[in-house]
């Protein structure tokens, strides 16, 4: 059985657009392409989860936790507390995807406390208990049969959870703000991609779809110049995606209103850019 595509948005720097693009692309696949999509939030900051289900804090531990599952029945719980998250895979349990208000789109939420515990598993146990778990879960027969594509939002770090996500991915997109510090950080993330891509067998490659120029400031000259340099580089220029997203106010508004960018009018420039980016990624994965 050929593995269904697993797309990860990754960058070790925070605030570059990993969560935003995980959400936009998951919505695109579900709403526009009508593909059964499973979004996975493996970042303990739980931002991807919050975009769909709001923030749920445990009043005792103060950690952000998943909401109560809609299919939870306290009278038939069999010891389950009604919450499920991607952290379950690190502790021998199977997570239960949550339906969203978008047809074809399910989400497995994050769980701040339990992901924190998973990250602190002893080093020698890490390879066995963390690194391969997400890959194993996604490749379960039931999971593969239920979805057409998996989209992973990763933490802004190169730690064990990110490694676990990399080991599960078939495709990678690196959102990047076009400013010097972010580009310097890019080299570090590429090292992680290098390690993983070189370790893959030929029938399970990790394809770098590209670096996605994000949050561009159209009036800032440095953005334009640096992006030109990146795109014109003879060695890696073709890894810089030919599409881009300008820093627009619609995107944070979508989050506040828990709305999809694809619900805006077709004439909206933010939607147009989102569509062109998603179409590019979609074609790279499926064609």
Partner 1 sequence: MKKKYSLPSGISSEISSTIDLVKNNIGTLNYKIIPLEVIEFDPNNPRDLVITREDLPHGPRGDDPFYEQKMQEFESLKQTAETIKKYGVRNAVEIYKFGNSYRLIHGERRCLSSILAGKKDIPAKVLDEKPNDFDIRLLQLIENVQREDLTLNDTLNNIRQVIKEYKQHINSSVDVNVVFLEGLINRSKTQCLNFLAVLNAPEDLQISIKNGEIKSLEKAAIIAKAKSDTQRNTLLKSCVEGASLNELKQASIQQKKLKGLSRSAMSNQKNRPGKKAAKINLGSTININVVSKLVNLVSNDPLYSVFKEQFTRMSFDDYSSCSIAFSSLIQLMEKIEFS
Site membership for partner 1, residue 1 (CB under 8 A): no
Judge contact between 215 and 17, C-beta under 8 A. yes
Selected range binding partner 1 among 74-82, 133-141, 142-150, 176-184, rule: CB under 8 A: 176-184
Write down the least CB distance from residue 28 to partner 1, Å.
27
Please pick, from the candidates 184, 253, 259, 263, the single residue that binds partner 1 as defined by CB under 8 A.
184
Please pick, from the candidates 16, 31, 186, 212, the single residue that binds partner 1 as defined by CB under 8 A.
186
Q: What are phi and psi of 26, to 5 degrees?
A: -60, -45
Please pick, from the candidates 70, 92, 221, 249, the single residue that binds partner 1 as defined by CB under 8 A.
221
Site membership for partner 1, residue 283 (CB under 8 A): no
Over its C-alpha atoms, the chain yields an Rg (Å, rounded) of 19
Distance from first CA to last CA of the chain, Å, rounded? 19
Judge contact between 258 and 51, C-beta under 8 A. yes
Please pick, from the candidates 63, 236, 264, 280, the single residue that binds partner 1 as defined by CB under 8 A.
236
Q: Which of 38, 54, 37, 35 is nearest to 46 (CA)?
A: 54
Selected range binding partner 1 among 25-33, 96-104, 201-209, 255-263, rule: CB under 8 A: 201-209
Residue 163 CA, chain-centre distance (Å), reads: 13
CA dist 134 and 151 (Å) reads 12
Give the position of tokens 């959870």.
Answer: 161
Q: Which of 277, 208, 263, 234 is nearest to 21 (CA)?
A: 277
* Interface positions, 63-122, toward partner 1 (CB under 8 A): none
Please pick, from the candidates 1, 60, 187, 256, the single residue that binds partner 1 as defined by CB under 8 A.
187
Neighbouring-strand partners of residue 207: 171
CA dist 182 and 189 (Å) reads 11
Site membership for partner 1, residue 228 (CB under 8 A): yes
**208: its two tokens:** 């770098």
Please pick, from the candidates 58, 136, 195, 258, the single residue that binds partner 1 as defined by CB under 8 A.
195
Selected range binding partner 1 among 7-15, 68-76, 81-89, 191-199, rule: CB under 8 A: 191-199
Please pick, from the candidates 103, 229, 253, 259, the single residue that binds partner 1 as defined by CB under 8 A.
229
Neighbouring-strand partners of residue 9: 153, 173
Query: If phi over 0 gives left and psi between -120 and 50 gives alpha, with beta otherwise, what is residue 2?
Result: beta
Please pick, from the candidates 54, 59, 70, 201, the single residue that binds partner 1 as defined by CB under 8 A.
201
Please pick, from the candidates 57, 93, 103, 194, the single residue that binds partner 1 as defined by CB under 8 A.
194
Site membership for partner 1, residue 205 (CB under 8 A): yes
Q: Which is nearer to partner 1, 179 or 247 (CB)?
A: 179
Residue numbers at the binding site for partner 1 (CB under 8 A)? 180, 183-184, 186-187, 190-191, 193-195, 197-203, 205, 208, 221-222, 225-226, 228-230, 233, 235-236, 239
């Amino acid at each position: 059985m050929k593995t269904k595509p697993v797309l990860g948005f990754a960058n070790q720097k925070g605030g570059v657009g990993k969560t935003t693009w995980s959400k936009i692309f998951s919505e695109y696949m579900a709403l526009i392409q009508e593909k059964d999509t499973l979004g996975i939030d493996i970042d303990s900051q739980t931002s991807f989860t919050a975009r769909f289900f709001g923030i749920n804090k445990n009043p005792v531990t103060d950690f952000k936790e998943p909401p109560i599952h809609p299919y939870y029945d306290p009278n038939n719980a069999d010891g389950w507390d009604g919450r499920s998250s991607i952290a379950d895979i690190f502790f021998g349990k199977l997570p239960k995807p949550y339906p969203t208000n978008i047809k074809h789109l399910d989400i497995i939420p994050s769980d701040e406390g339990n992901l924190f515990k998973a990250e602190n598993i002893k080093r020698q146990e890490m390879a066995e208990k963390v690194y391969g778990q997400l890959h194993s879960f996604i490749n379960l027969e039931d999971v593969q049969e239920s979805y057409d594509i998996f989209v992973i939002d990763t933490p802004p770090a190169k730690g064990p959870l990110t490694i676990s996500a990399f080991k599960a991915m078939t495709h990678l997109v690196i959102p990047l703000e076009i400013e010097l510090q972010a580009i310097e950080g890019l080299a570090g993330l590429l090292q992680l991609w290098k390690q993983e891509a070189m370790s893959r067998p030929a029938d399970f490659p990790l394809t770098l779809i590209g670096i996605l120029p994000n949050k561009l400031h159209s009036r800032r000259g440095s953005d334009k110049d640096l992006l030109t340099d990146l795109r014109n580089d003879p060695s890696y220029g073709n890894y810089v995606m030919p599409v881009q997203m300008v820093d627009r106010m619609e995107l944070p508004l979508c989050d506040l209103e828990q709305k999809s960018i694809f619900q805006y009018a077709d004439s909206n420039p933010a939607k147009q850019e989102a569509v062109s980016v998603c179409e590019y990624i979609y074609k790279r994965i499926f064609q």
